[in-house]
Structure formats: structure tokens, C-alpha cells
């Protein structure tokens, strides 16, 4: 496995310098192209529309109608996404193709599935204002027990991105050890917060930002309308290298991370076939059994899918 600094030094080399909106040691940003965004939006908006339908809040029958979708979302406080695995698998495949073509999956072994399709409203939901883990407090995801070898990717898809966005903070190299060692809220951070500097990265639709798990960040909400984004984590280490007990962790299940299928995928069954096929091929019996069990537990047509797998 590549170390944290090795990954970040190499991962964005193939991206022309002029295409990088921000080029920090542990934070990078660039714009996705319009045709990529169109395909990604189609899948993500499809999920949001289905989710609006489930709660009877969808006003338009027109597919991928962004204006109608944002209108509907702005009537709600929050929305729970329906778990349509086929659409999530296609969305993931599109994201993988976009990252692969830029070379930024070099040194990456695992990806979170499903990714978060996030609708952020301009106001903090009343029940999370004081929640210590709420994302509007400055934090790094490491203090929420996410894997140490992970990094986070965020893509703004649409809506009022200039009112609700993520702020990242850069830091000198000397601060890395403290950031890697610390667990807990930033109010108790024992390194020096005075060393953190806000990254000058104005949010924009189509902007992709990647940042390491140690990077301090927070969500800023200026009270505007809803914003739609996608975020997901990648892992440098083998996502199956943990023992079976760790796989059953309730807080952050390690089963959340899958291998990366470099080929395009058109449905969830195809994703499962690749995953189980590779685990079998590598002789990873514990990983294979754990993944089969996950599929069985979380997929309505699991039996059919598993029959077609090795």
C-alpha cells in the first residue's frame, strides 16, 4: 500500500496543472466535464426522484428535471434516498470511469458502496444543531473512526452550491503527525489550530474535490436553497484485509468498502459478480463469505444474484 504522502504526490500527476483548481499536499480539486456530469446527474437525479415519489413529494413526471426536483426538495427538511442498487452501481461505474481516466485511482484499492447522494439544505436540521459529530463543526473524519487509509471525494451536482458548501483547511507538514494521532472533537485538538488555513476554493457546480481523511473541514450553510452533491470515500489499503469481527462493526461497517471494478457496469448483479469473482480468485475466503452475507442481507433478489456468481 502506498503511504498517505506517496498517494497524494503521485495521484494527480496525469492531470495538467492548469486543470487543478487547487493543488495542496492533501487536497486537490478540478472540474468534471459537462458530458460526464450529465451521465452522473441522470443516475443521481433518478434516485432522488424515486425518493421524492416514495414520500409523495414529487411534483413533476418529467425525468431529470432539475428545476422541478430542486423545487420539491426545497419543500422538505430532509429526504431519505431509496436503495436502488442497480442505479447506485451505474452511478458508481460512471464515477470510477471519470477518476480512472484522470489516473486518480492509482494506488486505490477500495471504494465505498453505496456512495452518498446528498441533499443539503440551507439551514441546519433542528435536531443536529448541537450534535457533536455534525458536519458544520470543524472536524476530520478520522475522529469519527473512519479508516486511516481513506480519502474523501466530493462532487457538486446542482442547486445552491454557493450557500451550502464544504470548507477545507490546509496545514503545514509539521502538523500531520498531530492530525494523524488525534481522535475527538476539534475543540480538544492538541495540535495547533492556529496553523490551519482556509483553502481558497469557491464552490461551483461540477467541481470535484478530493481530500485526505486527516484534512480538517466543515460544512458552511448560509441559509440559501438546497444543494445536491455526491460524496464517497476511497481506500488505499485492501478493503478486505480486516478480520471477520471488524466486518461486523456496527458503527462504521468495513463491509461498506468494495473492490474497484475498472470496467463499466450496467447493474448491481454485475458488480457482485466481479467482486465475488475476484475474492474467489485471490483466495480470500473470509472476504468472500463476508461479502456474500452482506449481499444476502441487503439485496431483495440476493438468491438470484448469488446463483449467477462463482
Contact footprint for Fe ion (CB under 5 A) = 141
- 24/287 with CB nearer Fe ion: 24
What are the backbone dihedrals phi and psi of residue 111, each rounded to the nearest 5 degrees, phi first?
-140, 140
Rg (CA), the chain: 19
Q: What is the DSSP letter of 107?
A: T
- 28/292 with CB nearer Fe ion: 28
**Residue 15 Cβ, how far from Fe ion at the closest point, in Å?**
24
3-state secondary structure of 20: strand
**Residue 297 Cβ, how far from Fe ion at the closest point, in Å?**
27
- 93/229 with CB nearer Fe ion: 229
Q: What is the total residue count of the chain?
A: 310
- 41/256 with CB nearer Fe ion: 256
What value, to the nearest 5°, has the Cα angle with vertex 147 and ends 291 and 285?
Answer: 25
Q: What is the rounded distance in angstroms from the CA atom of residue 16 to the CA atom of residue 196? A: 27
- 234/272 with CB nearer Fe ion: 234
**Residue 72 Cβ, how far from Fe ion at the closest point, in Å?**
27
**Residue 209 Cβ, how far from Fe ion at the closest point, in Å?**
12
Helix 66-73 and helix 34-54, axial crossing angle in degrees, nearest 10: 40
**Residue 18 Cβ, how far from Fe ion at the closest point, in Å?**
29
What are the backbone dihedrals phi and psi of residue 203, each rounded to the nearest 5 degrees, phi first?
-65, 150
**Residue 37 Cβ, how far from Fe ion at the closest point, in Å?**
23
* CB-CB contact of 168 with 211 (8 Å): yes
Q: What is the rounded distance in angstroms from the CA atom of residue 103 to the CA atom of residue 97? A: 10
131: β partners: none
**Residue 139 Cβ, how far from Fe ion at the closest point, in Å?**
6
* CB-CB contact of 79 with 51 (8 Å): yes
Strands (E), 44-149: 110-112, 116-120
Q: What is the rounded distance in angstroms from the CA atom of residue 55 to the CA atom of residue 187? A: 38
- 19/129 with CB nearer Fe ion: 129
**Residue 187 Cβ, how far from Fe ion at the closest point, in Å?**
16
Nearest residue to 69 (alpha-carbon basis) of 48, 39, 95: 48
Q: Which residue is nearest to Fe ion (CB)?
A: 141
- 79/166 with CB nearer Fe ion: 166
- 143/247 with CB nearer Fe ion: 143
DSSP per-residue codes, 14-28: TS-GGGEEEE-SSEE
Amino acid at each position: 500500500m502506498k503511504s498517505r504522502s506517496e498517494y497524494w504526490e503521485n495521484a494527480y500527476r496525469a492531470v495538467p496543472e492548469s486543470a487543478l483548481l487547487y493543488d495542496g499536499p492533501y487536497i486537490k480539486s478540478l472540474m468534471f466535464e459537462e458530458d460526464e456530469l450529465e451521465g452522473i446527474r441522470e443516475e443521481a437525479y433518478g434516485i432522488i426522484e424515486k425518493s421524492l415519489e416514495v414520500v409523495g413529494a414529487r411534483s413533476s413526471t418529467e425525468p431529470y428535471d432539475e428545476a422541478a426536483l430542486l423545487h420539491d426538495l426545497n419543500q422538505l427538511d430532509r429526504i431519505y434516498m431509496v436503495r436502488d442498487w442497480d442505479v447506485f452501481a451505474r452511478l458508481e461505474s460512471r464515477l470510477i470511469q471519470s477518476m480512472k481516466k484522470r489516473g486518480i485511482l492509482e494506488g486505490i484499492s477500495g471504494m465505498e458502496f453505496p456512495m452518498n447522494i446528498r441533499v443539503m439544505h440551507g439551514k441546519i436540521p433542528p435536531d443536529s444543531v448541537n450534535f457533536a459529530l455534525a458536519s458544520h463543526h470543524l472536524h476530520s473524519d478520522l475522529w469519527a473512526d473512519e479508516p486511516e487509509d481513506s480519502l474523501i471525494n466530493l462532487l457538486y451536482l446542482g442547486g445552491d452550491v454557493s450557500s451550502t458548501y464544504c470548507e477545507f483547511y490546509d496545514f503545514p507538514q509539521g502538523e500531520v503527525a498531530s492530525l494523524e494521532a488525534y481522535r475527538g472533537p476539534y475543540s480538544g485538538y492538541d495540535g495547533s489550530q492556529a496553523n490551519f488555513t482556509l483553502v481558497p476554493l469557491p464552490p461551483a457546480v461540477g467541481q470535484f474535490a478530493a481530500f485526505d481523511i486527516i484534512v480538517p473541514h466543515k460544512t458552511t450553510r448560509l441559509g440559501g436553497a438546497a444543494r445536491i452533491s455526491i460524496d464517497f470515500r476511497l481506500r488505499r489499503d485492501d478493503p478486505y484485509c480486516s478480520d471477520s469481527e471488524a466486518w461486523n462493526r456496527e458503527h462504521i461497517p468495513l463491509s461498506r468498502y468494495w473492490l474497484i471494478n475498472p470496467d463499466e457496469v450496467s447493474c448491481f448483479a454485475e458488480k457482485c459478480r466481479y467482486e465475488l469473482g475476484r475474492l474467489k480468485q485471490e483466495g480470500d475466503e473470509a472476504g468472500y463469505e463476508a461479502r456474500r452475507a452482506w449481499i444476502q442481507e441487503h439485496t431483495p433478489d440476493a438468491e438470484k444474484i448469488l446463483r449467477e456468481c462463482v
